Amino acid sequence: MSILVVGSVAFDTVETPFGRAERVLGGSASFFSLAASFFAPVNLVAVVGSDFGEKELEAFRGRPIDLAGLERVDGKTFHWQGKYSLDLNSRDTICTDLNVFEFFEPRIPDAYRASTHVFLGNIDPVLQRRVLDQVERPALVGADTMNFWISGKPRELRETLTRVDILLINDSEARELSGEWSLPKAARAIRAMGPQTLVIKKGEHGVLLFTDGGAFAAPAFPLEHVFDPTGAGDTFAGGFFGYLAAAGRHDDAHLRRAIVVGSTLASYCVEAFSLDRLRTLTRPEIEARYKAFLDLTRFDAL
Amino acid sequence: MSILVVGSVAFDTVETPFGRAERVLGGSASFFSLAASFFAPVNLVAVVGSDFGEKELEAFRGRPIDLAGLERVDGKTFHWQGKYSLDLNSRDTICTDLNVFEFFEPRIPDAYRASTHVFLGNIDPVLQRRVLDQVERPALVGADTMNFWISGKPRELRETLTRVDILLINDSEARELSGEWSLPKAARAIRAMGPQTLVIKKGEHGVLLFTDGGAFAAPAFPLEHVFDPTGAGDTFAGGFFGYLAAAGRHDDAHLRRAIVVGSTLASYCVEAFSLDRLRTLTRPEIEARYKAFLDLTRFDAL
């Protein structure tokens, strides 16, 4: 079993009330890969520029993350700069320099084509489809998207969604994609577009899962200190998808556990800048917080 | 065992995208009493005007709700008028006519003084204390408050809180009262003010409970149709407190069940205007949705 992930590898410059991190490793595929690699081997497809060096690659070394698909081209790596509000609940994008990411055309190495699990990070839905055209019948296709594509390429996105098994989006995206305010109604509408399983991420308010079997709600872990929320959603996706790949099953019981595993990884991610906390994270720590999630949510029958 | 509740009984005029209800029965003590009466006898202390008639009292009849403490004075009953946004997620108050409620001075009938459970609805913290001065050692004191008192009478509120066992407030109130954005930090600060148990209501995002035993998180029930959110918080409080009174215990396991019972009642309340849905609600319906909450939140160990 192995996971193919296609997305961004980037430099982030992040300002929070607690400090500033300058040109640190970021990007959806970076967070996803590190989180997923706790559970399953990851094949990473992304593009970086000539300014991306050995120091940045260190974060991926010593883990089951294959970098043959990490293309390096002339130019600068994608750079995002953002500044969070005092309460960390909103952020302003200071700049988005797409650089080499602007012309990203995912090329899937032959060795990756048999990946059992494919995760399409938040890129142009046309490119997401081209990734699927290059792989052999994966057992599970997951995808992320964003408002930019929902409003900018609705027809293309809808076509891509017919080929996606699990869609992971946030609540405002679910509302925009479906035109429904009620999340259960939005879920019904989106699941009719193709994805049998819908995961709606609500940040500090947790996650909702919708399947044929019904709905599942998981809270976010109530943290006293959130240091930097950047990458939490991608880390969630990596933990979620990594757990499913390792399990080799995606029935409701496994999907629910995967949601809590993803929430566990995300709760650690926000404790430090960049991938810093994920890099020191251990399996026993993951298991301990998963148990804490059980305790956080348990109540008995009447 | 019996519950004494002190709060408002009012007329509400409510506009939602689905219709308009003119001068229907509302008020925190009305919703609370009806919800709590499914579990325990309720002693209601409130004030109404001469325009409050037999028709309005009907909602309370045939239930274990004692009305000896419902004072009727010359003048008009408290009237609140509000209009909800299209998504029901915000509301504008059109008018708040306090009328006879402005001069409300809770007088606890002798027969109520031995109530085992006392719930102080959202009124002036000075009046909340005067209620406590009139009762004999209750087993449990619960209270609600609001931003108006948090900013307007902070010293009086703090004094009242030293005599409260369980405080139920919403997330913005918890943040304002504590000066902390992080809810776990806010909870620690507020619990240091007196209430051993803190319940933070987050509307559509569920409820957080903080006790010495740790935190508990319950989602709101994901409803396809919310008709009118008015009274949901007071209904939650009524179900929560009613269940605790009936159980005669408030250890963590009972508090958690009480949170889900309250959420169950609230999820029904919003399905219709005023107390309409609570009036037709049955015990089997409560039990069925409680079971649905179990199913909504269950996941296994890793």
- Model pLDDT, residue B87: 83
Contact B294 A287 (CB under 8 A): no
Burial B126-165 (b: 16+ CB within 10 A, else e): ebbbbbbebbeebebbbbbbbeebbeebeebbebbbebbb
Q: What pLDDT digit, counting tens, does each position of B47-81 carry?
A: 999 999 989 999 999 999 999 999 999 999 999 99
Contact A290 B296 (CB under 8 A): no
Q: What pLDDT digit, counting tens, does each position of B101-150 carry?
A: 999 999 999 999 999 999 999 999 999 999 999 999 999 999 999 999 99
CA-to-CA distance for B267 and B264, rounded, in angstroms? 5
- Model pLDDT, residue B103: 94
Closest partner residue to B182 (CB to CB) among A224, A253, A297 is A224
The B residues from 150 to 189 touching A (CB cutoff 8 Å) are 181-185, 188
Q: What pLDDT digit, counting tens, does each position of A25-72 carry?
A: 999 999 999 999 999 999 999 999 999 998 999 999 999 999 999 999
Local confidence band at B292 (pLDDT 50, 70, 90 cut-offs): very high
- Model pLDDT, residue A70: 97
Q: Tell me the shortest Cα–Cα distance from B232 to chain A, in angstroms.
A: 17
Contact B296 A206 (CB under 8 A): no
Contact B182 A298 (CB under 8 A): no
Regions of chain A short of the pLDDT cut 70: none
* A247 touching B (Cβ < 8 Å): no
In this prediction the ipTM stands at 0.95
**Alpha helices, H only, chain B:** 28-36, 54-57, 125-133, 147-152, 154-161, 171-178, 183-191, 232-247, 252-269, 276-280, 283-297
- Model pLDDT, residue A21: 95
Contact B184 A222 (CB under 8 A): yes
- Model confidence at B90: pLDDT above 90: no
Contact B297 A301 (CB under 8 A): no
Torsions phi, psi of B293, nearest 5?
-65, -40
- Model confidence at B272: pLDDT above 90: yes
* B114 touching A (Cβ < 8 Å): no
- Model pLDDT, residue A25: 96
